[in-house]
Amino acid sequence: MLQDYYDHTGDEPFLHETLLPAALPLVRFFDRFYRPGPEGRLLMHPSQALETWWECTNPMPEIAGLHAVVDRLLTLPGERLLTAESRLTSSA
């Protein structure tokens, strides 16, 4: 929703003061807590699938959410909005 707001308004202070401070720590959490599996892909285990399985691997809501958030963060235009360091951290 934060990304939707920025997309519709182009409000750069909101991007820097609200969206990025909220989104980047979430992406960093997944990067630091879960590591790549033997195939080189992110392996989310142990994890939980809300209200269905208490322990699972690669729960679809989290995978889909990460794809949506990271893809949109990486489409932010150039260094003016998102530093190279933030882009590297976001894509990890």
Q: How far is CA 12 from CA 62, 73, 74, in A?
A: 27, 14, 16
Residue 49's pLDDT is 62
Residues 12-31 have a mean pLDDT of 90
- What is the C-alpha separation between 92 and 90, in angstroms, rounded? 6
* CA 25 to mean position of chain CA atoms: 8
Instruction: Enter the pTM of the model.
Output: 0.69
- pLDDT tens per residue, range 43-63: 887 776 666 656 777 877 788
